[in-house]
Structure 1
Amino acid sequence: MFGLFSSKKPFNAQVNATATKLEVPAGDNLLNAALNSGLAWPHNCRVGSCGTCRCKLLEGEIKALNDFGYVLDADELDQGMILACQTRLRTDIAVEVTLDNQTASVVAAQKSAGVVSSVTELTHDIVEVRIKLEQPLPQFVAGQYAELTMEGIDDARSYSFARSPANEDADTVSFYVRRVPDGVMSNLLHDGNRLGSKVSVSGPHGTFYMRESTVPALCIAGGSGLAPIKAMLEQCDQDGFNRKIIFLFGARTQKDLYCIDDMEQLSAKHSQFSFLPVLSEVDDDNDWTGKRGLVTEYINQQGLDIPACQAYLCGPPPMIDAAIEILNKEGLDNSQIFFDKFLDASHLPGGKR
């Protein structure tokens, strides 16, 4: 009789052919178990929106916490690809994943209480939110993100650090928050005076950051996806640009542009760095003298030997998917493409950001 109340046994996940078996506790997801065991599993959002934690299911049965089709395309689903952060085990399984062996410098996440210390309007729908912490977080790597929770909001929201560690006080963190229609937290942070509001911050999280290399890097961002790219570039400014970096920033109209002065100052300071903003929705009679069209249309116009580059992409999924398709056609291997899809939780089943 007492067996009816015993806890469920964990299942095992064989990760790649040569790896040891990973124990996944009942009720936990595959990604959490992997990270808790110290595996350098690639990940960013941890809520099923970015697709970074994808892996191939070789054997066994799983339960999908959310529909993988929101992030993975039909070909990936046919190949047996799954999202580790949205996977619970029904049986022992075997999976195949490319582990990120450059994550040695990425530290374990911690939580800290804090308060909103400033909210600065950057565009009509993006603000910079700065949070003063009671206890500093472990030092993050430019490109990573934190999870924010506020009173009255059930689930955490993920936002990328908008400044490099060198440009941030140890007890302060900054984020670019785009207003999402019907988004609970984003509207809360945009509306009214939120100074002093309590926020819990967990971080750092994610494996989106600039890898050590001397090959040229092509960075592409759209909307609030500027945040992690800007943080990376600030870190390059601190360390010294040791390679050619081109940054293409896509926006709809001039009112959607921000941090332009910062990028132009970097470009003037470093001959290795160039910056190109591109607007996709500009009237013919507009006084905009810069580039027009989709930002991905300018990938092939930068004079780069694309197969010998790295690419860092951050922003809306359609932009990232289009960029990856072009880069693949030009011969860039997927192992040299790093991306963070900014798909807000309102696009997932039952989610609101």
Structure 2
Amino acid sequence: MFGLFGKSKKEFQARVQPSGKSLEVQAGDNLLKAGLASGLNWPHDCRVGSCGTCKCRLVEGKVKELSDFAYVLDGDELNNGMILACQSQLKSDIVVEVELGTGDAEAAGVSTTEGVLSATRMLTHDIMELTITIDHPLRVKGGHYKAGQYADITFPGISRPRSYSFAAAPEDDDRNELTFFIRKVPNGELTTWLFEEDRTGSPVTVSGPYGSFWLREGEGPVVCIAGGSGMSSIKALLEHAANQGCTRDTVYLFGARTQADLYCLDAMSSLENQWNSGSKLRFIPVLSDEPADSDWQGLRGMVTEHIPGQLSDWASAQAYLCGPPPMIDAAIESLKQQGVNNSEIHFDKFLDASSMPNGRQ
């Protein structure tokens, strides 16, 4: 063990293997936060201890669990010393093992900027589009986030930041303008405040970008599945794919309750029309609670029920899922049954206070 004696209690050192990199972790900060702030491309998604993406092996030293690791880590992982970086505060200097990202290292940098809520627009009765004008672009290569990532937003008078996914491809958003889709959460502190009156002009603080949810390289087909405000990440991802000349057959299943809960239909139609020749994008909405006697001619039921049969080549497929945890979990099981490799299933669970104490609202 190294450096345990004479170290200031205000900070500890974490040595990251096999990269050999070291970082200082301030008292009260979690390991993932310190790693991202230092520019390490540490794999992560939710940052609230629900996805397991940031897991690493504790080789030496001690940490304090901010939440029960057993929530997402199995017995073998726990016995092997695995911990969740986002839920670990250091109690000593430590050594951890984790494979840092390489190919997408430009996404690792995070920064904070001030801004203002410059516009709002209702997309459905409970989903609002926010436009935030920021003072400076977020600190990543070229000044752009990656389509599929998210930011933390601090609103005036709200107890803590909230995490929201970017709702437009970075090349489609002005460098100093960001777009988000926010769903109203029953009794949610932020959304109650946001939806009760016009909040344009309110100052905000934006930090990011965060997350490892973006389109990977590949030649096989792509299946996207989203529900509710999960439209944001998938819309941004598909816009970016179209802008980059993607020639992969893609299907997008979107789950909603009724026709009144559908939105971005024009944007999806436009993407279908501009998808590159030689391949095809299909947008397929699925309604779970549409009245039986309505004029709806599309699919009905749970969105995950309609995964089978959408692709002919599941073995080489990649999947991108975005939405509430029950939908994500059901989709993962169905995709595995179709033969999709677990390593090719990428997801971003949208959490709120009803599903995780520290989740999104």
Q: Deviations over 1:169-188 (max 9, x none)?
A: 22211100111122122222
Tell me if the contact between 1:49 and 1:345 (Cα under 8 Å) persists in the aligned partners: no
Q: Identify the match of residue 9 of structure 2 among 4, 7, 10.
A: 7
Distance across 2 between alignment mates of 1:7 and 1:89: 10
Q: Identify the match of residue 277 of structure 1 among 285, 289, 296.
A: 285
Tell me if the contact between 1:123 and 1:257 (Cα under 8 Å) persists in the aligned partners: yes
> Given residue 257 of structure 2, which amino acid in structure 1 is its aligned partner?
R
Where does residue 191 of structure 1 map in the other structure? 196
Displacement after TM superposition at 1:135 (Å): 2.6
Where does residue 341 of structure 2 map in the other structure? 333
Displacement after TM superposition at 1:296 (Å): 1.4
Displacement after TM superposition at 1:346 (Å): 5.0
Name the CA shift for 1:291/1:11 in 2 (closer, same or farther; >3 Å): same
> Given residue 88 of structure 1, which amino acid in structure 2 is its aligned partner?
Q
Where does residue 344 of structure 1 map in the other structure? 352
Name the CA shift for 1:233/1:352 in 2 (closer, same or farther; >3 Å): closer
Q: Deviations over 1:102-145 (max 9, x none)?
A: 32231522222221111100111100010122233331111111
Write out aligned runs for 1:28-177 (5 A). Answer: 28-57=29-58, 61-68=62-69, 81-91=82-92, 95-106=96-107, 108-137=109-138, 138-177=143-182
Distance across 1 between alignment mates of 2:90 and 2:71: 20
> Given residue 122 of structure 1, which amino acid in structure 2 is its aligned partner?
L
Distance across 2 between alignment mates of 1:331 and 1:56: 29
Distance across 2 between alignment mates of 1:350 and 1:140: 24
What is the percentage of aligned positions where both structures have the same residue?
A: 51
Q: Secondary structure at the match of 2:128?
A: strand
Q: Secondary structure at the match of 2:220?
A: coil
Q: Secondary structure at the match of 1:215?
A: coil
Q: Does 1:25 align with 2:25?
A: yes
Distance across 2 between alignment mates of 1:233 and 1:295: 19
Tell me if the contact between 2:37 and 2:109 (Cα under 8 Å) persists in the aligned partners: no
Distance across 2 between alignment mates of 1:269 and 1:352: 33
Tell me if the contact between 1:218 and 1:246 (Cα under 8 Å) persists in the aligned partners: yes
Query: Aligned-residue CA RMSD in angstroms?
Result: 2.8
Where does residue 321 of structure 1 map in the other structure? 329
Q: Does 1:293 align with 2:301?
A: yes
Name the CA shift for 1:319/1:81 in 2 (closer, same or farther; >3 Å): farther
Distance across 2 between alignment mates of 1:5 and 1:77: 28
Tell me if the contact between 1:53 and 1:84 (Cα under 8 Å) persists in the aligned partners: yes
Under a length normalisation based on structure 1, what TM-score does the superposition of the two structures give?
0.88
Name the CA shift for 1:154/1:71 in 2 (closer, same or farther; >3 Å): farther
Under a length normalisation based on structure 2, what TM-score does the superposition of the two structures give?
0.86
Distance across 2 between alignment mates of 1:63 and 1:167: 42
Tell me if the contact between 2:42 and 2:108 (Cα under 8 Å) persists in the aligned partners: no
Distance across 1 between alignment mates of 2:15 and 2:294: 57
Distance across 2 between alignment mates of 1:252 and 1:29: 38
Larger CA deviation: 72-81 vs 59-68: 72-81
Displacement after TM superposition at 1:352 (Å): 7.3
Q: Deviations over 1:236-258 (max 9, x none)?
A: 22222221111111112222211
Name the CA shift for 1:42/1:14 in 2 (closer, same or farther; >3 Å): closer
Displacement after TM superposition at 1:101 (Å): 2.6
Q: Secondary structure at the match of 2:347?
A: strand
Tell me if the contact between 1:107 and 1:140 (Cα under 8 Å) persists in the aligned partners: no
Q: Secondary structure at the match of 2:193?
A: helix
Q: How many residues align?
A: 349
Distance across 1 between alignment mates of 2:76 and 2:293: 42
Write out aligned runs for 1:232-311 (5 A). Answer: 232-270=237-275, 271-311=279-319
Tell me if the contact between 2:151 and 2:206 (Cα under 8 Å) persists in the aligned partners: yes
Q: Identify the match of residue 206 of structure 1 among 208, 211, 220.
A: 211
Displacement after TM superposition at 1:98 (Å): 4.6
Q: Does 1:217 align with 2:218?
A: no
> Given residue 12 of structure 2, which amino acid in structure 1 is its aligned partner?
P
> Given residue 222 of structure 2, which amino acid in structure 1 is its aligned partner?
A
Tell me if the contact between 2:54 and 2:85 (Cα under 8 Å) persists in the aligned partners: yes
Displacement after TM superposition at 1:61 (Å): 4.1
Displacement after TM superposition at 1:291 (Å): 0.8
Tell me if the contact between 2:149 and 2:210 (Cα under 8 Å) persists in the aligned partners: yes
Distance across 1 between alignment mates of 2:125 and 2:349: 22
Displacement after TM superposition at 1:91 (Å): 4.9
Displacement after TM superposition at 1:225 (Å): 0.7
